Structure 1
């Protein structure tokens, strides 16, 4: 196959056809116009086009690189924050596990106490929710005092003379000035 290229005066290329005579040889053939400077002019324009395309690709790659660097710094910060969150969750998880273990231990202790209480209280028969427990035998028990109050109101028939009190209308006149006074300190000396 022969690959044929033609350069016109503007610098554009026309790839016209492939020849099928030689399938193993690829040869680039350029047909130029009649002027001798036209091939060098075509090559110059081609090199200018290549340079401009390389510059455009380079700018695009540099812009992508800048975006990738910015994304990298943002992602590194996100990774740091996520690592801190993971550490805090690990600490919280360890604390909660420790609390769970202590709570389970307390629950087991309370279950054991409950079982002991239930087995020890099986000998008592519940009576309305209460157990009859006798008072302790300390030997200091005293019987209750007798009730000396009157339960029936006195009637007129059983009126006792000791309860009859008569009020006098006048007060006896007594002279209270003759009281002995306390001794004065001068009298003691």
Structure 2
């Protein structure tokens, strides 16, 4: 970024090379993009993601209905040993046979998961169902959707910033190679005569 600060100083500098001026302009453009375009891209991505997720939340709230399930008994375990992670999950959220009322008033019975405190017969716990009464996962809370949108916005901004900085570094690297190539050509012309008496006369 030091090239941008020296942009105006190089305008009338007799030692200024064309690549110096190009590098300064590239740094200035990158700085403007990092200050304006990158935050705008992150903001636009976050707003778009939030709108999409909030629509999904509203649809889920329309399609899913809260009800109360009553535990009848513990569910039968399948034959064989379970993997360690499944066994741990079963201890935290055991499967139970419960009944609940569907949106149309009919009583459904099935196997669902409950917390350890709610797994004994007669206990009740909240349950979400679809319109036909089948158990479904709870709808996403609006705050969770907003948090996901915020993460998406920050991610897009970060990626955009990395893209801008990578582009700047690539251009500067090519400019440096071009400078070295010109220096090598100039040295090839004057190098053999360097330091000899009468050189250039």
TM-score by length of structure 1 reads 0.34
Larger Rg: 1
Larger proportion of strand: 2
TM-score by length of structure 2 reads 0.32
Give the number of the structure with larger relative contact order, counting CA–CA contacts within 8 Å between residues 6 or more apart: 2
Larger proportion of helix: 2
